Structure 1
């Protein structure tokens, strides 16, 4: 009988943001996202100039945990989750540690999408979900081997999740998802009438 192993596995971490002792109120977080959006004229201008659907604070604000206590609480919660994920990945961090590099708000309106991308120069990336109206888009993850599949036939529609070329993950409010930053991902078009709100982030290795 053949011995078939799974090698070079891609890990996806999913948990509740408050699972490791944190106490982040998602209603307060949503209200803070809207308040920051309304005040962030530079961010709104950048989104309009770049044709970015909805709003992101990525290009305008780099100090959300300092600016708002609720975001400081989010950072503290994420630190615990990222440490747990790093342990699962068996990283040898030496005398260094993984530290928050970027944290930003995403407000995606009906018809908006975030096209396929990855996050260079960081180690762990992820998102925590603030508002997920009925019918909004899932997170789409791409098999990192896609560029090397060459002449491979497509996978069966009934293929196991770990054999699929694309995997769709449907998070709910209060979830946090983590993945290694080289994993290509996207947010398909938001088909809901209400805004999809999330907070995304990157962690880097700092010695």
Structure 2
């Protein structure tokens, strides 16, 4: 009898942000995201120049935990989630830790989307979701082997989940999702008339 096993697994972490303390008040986080977006003229200009729908602080602000205490609370919680995920991934970190590299706000309006991309130079990336109204866009994760599939036929539409080429995730407000930074992903078009609000981040391997 043939022995068939799964190799080189891609792991995906999903949990509630408030699984660890300190707990983050989602309403306060929502209000803070919009307060920052309204004041961040450099970020607004970057979005206009790049044709980015909605708002992101990705290219303008690097000090969110200093500006608003609630983002400091988020980082404390993220550190614990990332440590738990790194343990699952069985990383041999030695004496070095995974530390926050950057943290940014995303406000995606109706019709907005974020095309497929990866996060170079990072180890673990992820998002915590602040507002996910009904019809808000899902997160699409892509099989990282696509570039090497050569002449492979398409998968069956009802293929087992671990065999599918794309996986769609529909997180809820208060969720956190983590993945290894090389995993290509995209945010599908927001079908809701309300904004999709999230906070994304990268973790790197500390130098010391």
Report TM bin, short chain.
over 0.9
- C-alpha deviations, 1:157-184, integer Å up to 9, x for none? 1111100000001100000000000000
SS at match of 1:80: helix
Residue 111 of structure 1: aligned partner = 111
Shift of 1:21: 2.8
Shift of 1:19: 0.7
Residue 76 of structure 1: aligned partner = 76
Residue 58 of structure 2: aligned partner = 58
Shift of 1:22: 2.9
Aligned length: 207
- C-alpha deviations, 1:114-163, integer Å up to 9, x for none? 00000000000000000001011110000000111111111111111100
Residue 16 of structure 2: aligned partner = 16
Residue 203 of structure 2: aligned partner = 203
- C-alpha deviations, 1:88-118, integer Å up to 9, x for none? 0000001100000000000000010000000
TM-score (norm 2): 0.98
**Which deviates further from its counterpart, 124-133 or 21-30?**
21-30
Question: Runs of 4 or more off by more than 2 Å in structure 1?
Answer: none
TM-score (norm 1): 0.99
Give, in whole Å, the separation in 2 of the partners of 1:59 and 1:89: 30
SS at match of 1:134: coil
Give, in whole Å, the separation in 2 of the partners of 1:122 and 1:171: 23
Gaps of 5+ in 1: none
Shift of 1:20: 2.0
SS at match of 2:107: strand
Give, in whole Å, the separation in 1 of the partners of 2:160 and 2:193: 32
SS at match of 2:59: coil
SS at match of 1:140: strand
